[in-house]
Amino acid sequence: QFEKSGLLQDLPKQFFASLVAKVNAITEQGHDVINLGQGNPDQPTPEHIVKSLQSAAEKTINHKYSPFRGHQYLKDAAAVFYEREYGVKLDPNSEVAILFGGKAGLVELPQCLLNPGDTILVPDPGYPDYLSGVVLAQAKTELMPLTEENDFLPKYDDIHKEVLDKAKMMFLNYPNNPTGASATESFFDETVSFAKEYSICVVHDFAYGAIGFDGKKPISFLQAEGAKDVGVEIYTLSKTYNMAGWRVGFAVGNKSVIEALELLQDHLYVSLFPAIQEAAASALLDSQTCVGQLVQMYEGRRNVFIEGLKAIGWDVKAPAASFFAWLKVPEGFTSESFADYLLTHAHVAVAAGNGFGEFGEGYVRVGLLTSEERLQEAVERIRTLNLF
């Protein structure tokens, strides 16, 4: 029996483990749980992408090691994708790094840019894995509260001067997990000036970059003037193309940050299975009809669920983007007691908001990751609890 290193012992507890255990326990009792707790897309990868993987897997050239930093055709495809979707021009040789999914880049970046004791600004509530990278880098977290009153955007004016003088890096994430908020152009412009003033490297997590509702396509941080001077954006194919299990994404933007990321990765891995790289390139370059259909599907689910909850008297707000709804818990409950109550009495699993940080207390997160019929059924089960 060997003891884990101090670093590993400091890592935050994996947030979803306890939810999975609770859901399994109820399911084992024979109950049909509607699981809206996790963020795993429920639809398959579009067929043309799977076909592309199949034929690429047959080419023996793809059975060899990939170049350490990935194949040029995938970097080129990422650049074509960014210009086509966001009007952002990228040099595929120096402004794109291939990642084993967005999570890898997010966890690696603090280790690329921070020294032990350095300060990093992290949104709260936020995607829990930001904190894992910070622990591995032995850096210090300063939380930026995201509140409903400020449309779930951080208020830079509220951050103390001493913190700003020490901060070297910052995470942002829009469309936002867990709140479903999206960013505005003016917020990204403000972010660029703020980052320039305090020499902070911005890491914008654009995992839900394809999913915006009511005809509003989410904006890329790199669309803001000067953004490439101050940071990078992390893109993943997990949500846009239902490819969460494939583990493929990329970082784009500031050359020095991309270089640091690739240097660290040279020492960690050889890049992705080449057939996955080929299929990922075709996902980015081929017809995007599947993406339009995906957005329409999530918007339909959002409408059914939110309208349903309003009809039973729960005063909820519709998310602008992402596939999450962020709902205020009824009076008398905490995030956790409400999530437990729903699971025990309605067999509906949701994620307690405090799992995303202290400012997530008072909310639950619902993933719109099942059919409209199942979402309607969830609303019906909640109605019978007579809470509203």
Binding site for ligand PLP (CB under 6 A): 39, 101-103, 127, 173, 177, 205, 207, 236, 238, 244, 249
CA 305, CA 208: separation in Å to the nearest integer?
19
Helices (H), 152-184: 161-166
For the bound state, the minimum distance from the C-beta of residue 199 to ligand PLP, rounded and expressed in Å, comes to: 25
Query: Which of 9, 15, 13 is CA-nearest to residue 336?
Result: 15
CB count in 10 Å sphere of residue 333? 17
* Beta carbon nearer to ligand PLP, 99 or 382: 99
Minimum CB distance to ligand PLP smaller for 172 or for 260: 172
The C-alpha R_g of the chain, in whole angstroms, comes to: 21
CB of 130 to ligand PLP, least distance (A): 8
DSSP-based three-state secondary structure for 87 = coil
Asked if 229 and 254 count as a contact pair (C-beta separation under 8 A), the reply is yes
User: Closer CB to ligand PLP, residue 113 or residue 207?
Assistant: 207
Is the CB of residue 97 less than 8 Å from the CB of residue 265?
Answer: yes
Nearest distance in Å: CB 31, ligand PLP: 26
Which is nearer to ligand PLP, 156 or 246 (by Cβ)? 246
Backbone CA torsion sign across 313, 317, 321, 322:
negative
In whole angstroms, the minimum distance from the beta carbon of 46 to ligand PLP comes to 17
Cβ of residue 102: shortest distance to ligand PLP, in angstroms? Answer: 3
Burial code (b: 16+ CB inside 10 Å, e: under 16) for 78-87 equals bbebbeebbe
Q: Which residues contact 112 (CB under 8 A, 6 or more apart)?
A: 257, 260, 261, 263, 264
Distance CA 117, CA 110 (A): 12
Nearest in space to 241 (alpha carbons), one of 53, 383, 38? 53
- Residue placing its CB nearer to ligand PLP in the complex, 92 or 175: 175
Q: Where are the beta strands (DSSP E) in the chain?
A: 34-35, 96-99, 119-124, 140-145, 167-173, 201-205, 231-236, 249-253, 324-328, 348-349, 351-352, 363-367
Residue 121 and residue 131: Cα distance in Å, rounded? 10
Question: What does the DSSP assignment read for 114-132?
Answer: --TT-EEEEEES--THHHH
* 231 vs 249, beta carbon nearer ligand PLP: 249
The dihedral region occupied by 182, where left means phi > 0, alpha psi between -120 and 50, and beta the remainder, is: beta
Minimum distance, C-beta of residue 56 to ligand PLP, in the bound complex (Å): 20
Least separation in angstroms between residue 105's CB and ligand PLP is 8
